Structure 1
Amino acid sequence: MITPFRIDIPQADLDDLADRLARTRWPNEVAGAGWDYGFPLARLQELADHWRTGHDWREHEARLNRLPHFSTEIDGQNIHFIHVRSADPDALALVLTHGWPGSFLEFLDVIEPLSRDFHLVIPSIPGFGFSGPTHERGWDIVRVARAWAELMRRLGYRRYGAQGGDFGAGISTSLGAVAPGQVAGVHVNYLPTRPVAGVALSEADEARLDKVRQLIANRPAYQVLQATTPQTIGYALTDSPVGQLAWIAERFAAWTDPRSPISDDRMLTDVSLYWLTATAASSARLTRETPRGAAACPVPVGVAVLPHDITQSVRPLAERLYDIRHWSEFERGGHFAAMEVPELLAEDVRTFFLTTPGVHSRLPR
């Protein structure tokens, strides 16, 4: 059963958040630390103060409620999603999947341009946001992909495309693997490629691989903790709003192109979503549950490479794993493409699904 969903955070939860922010116990910081030891104290205090006194959740909640939200239960798990139908009844459907530490909020600025040509289904990954926490082992990206296939079946879509970045990219390619007869193509804006011996590469591609090698050798601390002890870090993030803020804001600062900044209010709405749904630990579990390494995807794939992303894909290596039909190199943008450069991403998605031979099929729902 699919039921309408409305966002309505209890006022007591908002009052509790403001009270906790006001009573934050701050650590000290060594003089001139900058970013050498982690998120700078002054900047975090600035964000926390704005969260408490300047960020109006009710304003953002009202704006979000103008969109058509729904929920359903699949595989024992609540699934929240937005469903926006195109004016064209024969339009191809797209399922858009966010990553961590993002949410369905990532896609707000691409809904209008993409819904001109596509029906849009924008779910919250189990364990994230309004889908709520998961309650059992095994919710990896493949299981999420199977849930998406069932969601699209329930909505009546016989043929559809998939798009995503971060975990959303892995879920999208996994969806192509679990439902190849239904998925017309997969577009991703994040596709890590690991070094492979014996493949001749250009100097530019070797430079990209050097960045990958550095990441492999120096795995980021947040990733290690989420991949090994998500429950432990979950206690701190679920009990301290400033802890949750620092955990997410550090990723936004590191992964966003300075030329395409995301506003503090947009980021704080995302942080608020994690806090108000108490999904810090369950969202972190996706890192623990999901195996490392690329999975096969038998359907056509389109790739958008952003210059300020965590890594940049190497096409000759990607083509060893995927049927690459479309490749774009953006001149600006970072990890949160739909938030940073929505106009560029929307146009690239449109180009891939509407003009790439063998991808777009205008079949009835």
Structure 2
Amino acid sequence: MSSTSWRFDFGLGDAAEGYAKVTPATVYNPSAGFGFAEGSAVAARDRREPEPLKQDLCIPAEAEFRVDVPDGSYQLSLLIGDWILPSHTTVKASPGRLLINGLRTSPGQFVRETVSVRARGGYIRLQFSGQAPRINALEINAAPHALSLFLAGDSTVTDQPEDGYPYAGWGQMLASMLKHDVIIANEAASGRSSKSFIEEGRLDVIWNEIKPNDFLFIQFGHNDQKPDEERHTEPSTTYKEYLRRYIDGARERGAHPVLVTSVHRRFFAEDGTLQNTHGSYLDAVRELAEETGTPLIDLAARTKTLLEELGPEDSKQLFMWGARGEFANFPGGIEDNTHFQEQGAIRIAGLVVEEIRRIGLWPLAMYIR
């Protein structure tokens, strides 16, 4: 172990050389700086095979593993597999950032997946789940010079809190679709407009960290429409003026700004076409992209097509539409035509990735999984 590298061997056998052993009884405590969270459901097996990291494993049925690290960017290498049984493993980085989505291995197959995370608060917390999850080994290495993709936006982009599950922003799902060469730095926050994000100092946080050749994706509009003075902007004037501050600030720092039109809300006309509830804010973003020579991801156009293809009923599956008792965190049911549930956020993130490839955002397009 060092101040920039951590290695863990999961299971019941002896630890591999240079690795710290982790068993189901390894509960997190501050003095050790790593371990499973209290209440995690973890079992272990020793398959008694000769290869040190593959001979044993932990089965993290519903488990969280914490490692204390300095704030920063990290690349994680996870060894996942089982000599005698198939496995199915999902891994998220708290709060709910999807890293590995339902990885399957066959008996005797071992897969090493490398992903990237950004640590905040002095730790990394990994959440394991799946139909038959496995973890054999974990390596964490600091990656201060990795390419970062910063996200500035609202609730449709942000990392939604765990107690709101299955609420999810599309930025929360993006890491699972890009290679470990890219660190997702999701600074989006619920309820913010292009104006309030700046006035609250949230853009300053990005300016303090962004590096030359990093990317900044900018998606606002939902809350710029709101009438309160703290958030409201006018599409043809102040909205554009605030968005220019993001564009100019990124370029001044040698980074690459990308404008993103707002995702559509789920409101259909009687003829089955989607209503534009954002008015001229969408046109303002498109015009600004043209005026400033800024790449544009037209997520409004893509979500309009997607929602109209699904139709008024099937499109509910993307949003926070839950019957009474369907979502544990919303036992009374919920009908929300703006915010996505996790599967919907995955679909929208997929559209973003498709647009990265289509418009040729280099080198991001090279790092699509």
Structure with the higher fraction of residues in strand conformation = 2
TM-score (normalizing by structure 1)? 0.34
Larger relative contact order (CA 8 Å, sep ≥ 6): 1
Structure with the higher fraction of residues in helix conformation = 1
TM-score (normalizing by structure 2)? 0.34
Report which of the two structures shows the higher radius of gyration computed on alpha carbons: 2
